[in-house]
Structure 1
Amino acid sequence: MALRAVLFDMDGTLLDTAPDFVAVCQAMRSARDLPPADEQRVRDVISGGARAMVCAAFDLEVGAEGFEALRLEFLERYREHCAVFSKPFDGMLELLTDIERSRLIWGVATNKPVVFAEPIMQQLGLSERSAVLLCPDHVERSKPAPDMLLLACEQMGIAPSDVLFVGDDERDIEAGRAAGCKTAAVTYGYIHPEDNPRHWGADVVVDHPLELRAVLDSALCSC
Structure 2
Amino acid sequence: MSKHVLFDFDGTLVDSRALLVKLYNEIAEENRFRKIRNSDLVMLRSLSISERVHWLGVPALQIPKLILTGRRRYQDNLRFLQVVPGMKEVIGRLASSGHKISILSSNSTSNIKQLLKQNRMDSAFDEVVSAKHLHGKHHSIKSIMKRWGVPASRIVYVGDELRDIEACKKLGVPIIAVTWGYDAPSLLRRGNPDYLVNAPGELLHTLQTLTT
TM-score category of the 2 structures, normalised to the smaller one: 0.7 to 0.9
Tell me how far 1:71 sits from its aligned partner: 4.2
Secondary structure of the structure 2 residue equivalent to 1:128: helix
Q: Structure 1: which amino acid aligns with 2:207?
A: L
Mapped contact 2:103–2:128 kept (Cα < 8 A) = yes
1:100 match? 95
For structure 2, list consecutive stretches of 5 or more residues without a partner in the other structure.
none
Query: Which residue among 199, 202, 205 is the counterpart of 2:193?
Result: 202
Aligned residues: 203
Give the secondary-structure state (helix, strand or coil) at the position aligned to 2:11: coil
- Aligned partners of 1:8 and 1:109 also within 8 Å: yes
Residue deviations 1:119-159 (CA, integer Å, cap 9, x gap): 3334333333211211134xxx5545522112223444443
2-structure distance, mates of 1:8, 1:42: 24
Deviation readout 1:44-89 (Å, 9 max, x if unpaired): 469849x95xx98xxx6224xxx88x94895276244241222221
> How far is 1:92 from its partner?
0.5
Q: Would you say the 8 A contact 2:160–2:183 is kept in 1?
A: yes
* 2:58 aligned to which of 59, 62, 65: 62
Partner of 1:178: 170
Flag the structure with larger Rg: 1
Structure 1: gaps spanning 5 or more residues: none
Task: Report the aligned-residue RMSD.
Answer: 3.6
Give the residue type in structure 2 aligned to 1:18: R
Aligned to 1:6: 5
**Residue 128 (structure 1) aligned with residue 120 (structure 2):** no
**Amino acid paired to 2:81:** S
1:217 aligns to 2:208 (yes or no): yes
By how many angstroms is 1:207 displaced?
Answer: 0.7
2:12 match: secondary structure: coil
What amino acid is aligned across from residue 187 of structure 1 in structure 2?
A: T
- Quote how far apart the aligned CAs of 1:106 are: 0.9
> Cα gap change, 1:19/1:217 in structure 2, threshold over 3 Å: closer, same or farther?
same
| Contact 1:94–1:210 under 8 Å retained in 2 | no
Q: Secondary structure at the match of 2:156?
A: strand
Contact 2:71 2:107 (C-alpha < 8 Å) held by counterparts = no
Greater relative contact order (CA < 8 Å, ≥ 6 in sequence) = 2
Q: TM-score, normalised by structure 1?
A: 0.72
Corresponding residue of 1:89: 84
Q: How many percent identity over aligned positions?
A: 22
1:7 aligns to what SS in structure 2?
strand
Match in the other structure for 1:111: 106
Matched AA of 1:62: V
Q: Normalising by structure 2, what TM-score?
A: 0.75
Alignment pair present for 1:189 and 2:173: no
Bigger fraction of residues in helix: 2
